[in-house]
Each structure stands twice: as C-alpha cells, then as structure tokens.
Structure 1
Amino acid sequence: MEPLIIKASIQIAKPAHDVYEAIVDPKKMSGYFIATGSGRMEEGQTLTWKFPEFSDELDVFVTQSNPDQQVTFEWQGSPKQRTTTNITLSAGKGGGTLVKITESEMPANEDGITWLRQNTEGWANFLACLKAYLEYNINLRKGAFDFMKA
C-alpha cells in the first residue's frame, strides 16, 4: 500500500503577496491560526508555534521560503513522526490566489490513518480560517476549539 499524503486547497480573493504574508508573519497568523509564533517563516529558521487551545508548543523548521510562491517546513505532524508540509501559492481562476497544502508522509497503518484524518481536518480548518481572515477580517478559530482545552 502506498504511503499516505494529505492534500488540501482553497482559492482566496487576495493577491499572492497578501496570502504569503499572512502565512509567514506570526502576528498575522495569530489572527486566524496560532496564538503565538517565535518568528517569521524564513528559510533555515526553527520557530515555535503555540496554539490557543493546547498547552503544547510545536517546533517548525522552515526548509524553503520563496516570497509570494511557497513555504515548506518540517514539524511534528504526528506524535511518532516528523512530516513535511508544503504550501504553494499560484494564480487562481478569475483572480486571487490558489493555496495548495501537501503534508507527507505516513505509512498506511492505524497510526497513519489517524494522522491523515486529524491533519486533513486541521489543514482544511487552516485554509478556511485563512480565507475568512484575509477576505473578511474574521478570526474563525477564536473560541472554536475551547472544548479541547485541558
């Protein structure tokens, strides 16, 4: 059986530069995804993300950062394995920016299926929150996961 890979995408009615900045700037990202980030997502940097509903902090190692086009990073995508996440930006149909996320990879076993379900939900949520933040200045995540707090 082939390894499991997550794929998610959405079109956002904003220029690629605005989308890119919302992804790499921790101040902007805290408006829709994380509580805090230790720095910009720049190539070679190791950052720490803190989420509003979890006590854990996650380390993120940025392997590639091409302004207005792509961000690639490694992180603890699963409790048992580091994964690589690639976010690409391209021209959307009718204007705006198409955002594609790929996270890989995990074996096709019970742990892999759990990862696939949880992180696919997570990336779909990330994209919806990013769109709401950029297009309507709404933080969809605020309070949405309070039920998960310890």
Structure 2
Amino acid sequence: MPFEFRVNGRIDRPVAQVFDAVVNPDQLSRYFVTLGGISGPLVAGAAVKWWGEVPVQVEAVEQNERIVFRWDAMVAKGEEPYQTRVEMRFQSLDDGATMVTIAEKGWRENEQGQKGSYVNCEGWSQMLACMKAWLEYGINLRQGYYLSELSGKPALEPQA
C-alpha cells in the first residue's frame, strides 16, 4: 500500500490572501519557514530553498488554485535519495474563507518511507494551524516551538 496523505484546514481569509501566504517568501517565512527563510517565491519552474538548505522544485503554480512541488524525502543512511510530490489546493468557500488541502505522496514502501510520511503529515498539519494563526490573528505559533528553532538549526528530522 503506498504511503500518502491529505490534510486540510479552513482559513477565514480570502483565497488570494491565503494563496499569497504560501507563494510569497515574505509571508511564508513569518509563520512556517521561519528559520533560514526562503530563497525566492514559488513560481512554476523555480528551484528554491526552504530553511536555507532544503531544495524545493516547483512544478506548477495556478494562481489562487494550486501549487505543486517536489522535495527530498527523508532517507535512511546509505539509502538512495528520492523526492516526494506535494500538491496544495486552495478552494474559495461561500462564506469568503478558504479551504486549503495539502496532499503528499511518493514515499518508498519501506520503514523509512512510512516514518517520513508520518513526519511530513504532522508537519503539514502544523503548517495549516500556523497559517491560520498568522493570517487570522497575526500570531507566529512556530516561534520557539521546536528545539531547532532555539538552537538555530533547521528541523529536518524530529529531535530526539
């Protein structure tokens, strides 16, 4: 069975504002990629770095609708590197809010792939909570949340 997941959350802001909060590095670095920032905006064909070192290959950007990118999966020592595919969808709701859905797939069907999928599912769920807090209330939930945020090192794997 392939490892993949889908998470979603309702943000009480118009779709254009929510979409911009992901593609705009000045916004995304205020609530999610806070340590090390983002090297540039998410535009189709771009190669950017998150947290100053994590490569993100942007495949598609459809204004206010969809973002697709690939990035490196967590691999075990000695395992050949590979990438997973992330798709974010933005749906305008009747009440003016936005439903954001994030799906990720492509992990190898092994123990490390399963672990990586669980870690990323947790991360994307937290990203949605952080986006909601930032856009609706101006609060950065990530500040000081992870030990890595306090140590100045990106959280590429869960801290022991």
- TM-score normalized by the length of structure 2: 0.84
TM-superposed CA distance for 1:147, in Å, is 5.5
Is 1:130 the counterpart of 2:131 in the alignment? Answer: yes
Match of 1:27 in 2: 26
Match of 1:60 in 2: 56
Match of 1:102 in 2: 103
**More deviation, 115-124/72-81:** 72-81
In the aligned structure 2, how far is the partner of 1:81 from the partner of 1:122? 19
Match of 1:70 in 2: 66
Match of 1:8 in 2: 7
Higher strand share: 1
SS of 2:112's equivalent in the other structure is helix
TM-superposed CA distance for 1:106, in Å, is 1.6
Match of 1:49 in 2: 50
Structure 1 vs Structure 2 CA RMSD: 1.6
Counterpart residue type for residue 2 of structure 2: P
Match of 1:54 in 2: none
SS of 1:106's equivalent in the other structure is coil
1:31-88 CA deviation, whole Å, 9 max, x = no partner?
101131111000000001116xxxxx10101000011111110111323421110000
Q: Which structure 1 residue ranges, 5 or more long, are not aligned?
A: 52-56
In the aligned structure 1, how far is the partner of 2:96 from the partner of 2:65? 15
1:78-137 CA deviation, whole Å, 9 max, x = no partner?
234211100000123643000000011223321121012111110001110011110001
Whether the 8 Å CA contact 2:73–2:107 is kept in 1: the answer is no
Q: Number of residue pairs matched?
A: 144
| Percent identical residues | 31
TM-superposed CA distance for 1:15, in Å, is 0.5
Counterpart residue type for residue 49 of structure 1: W
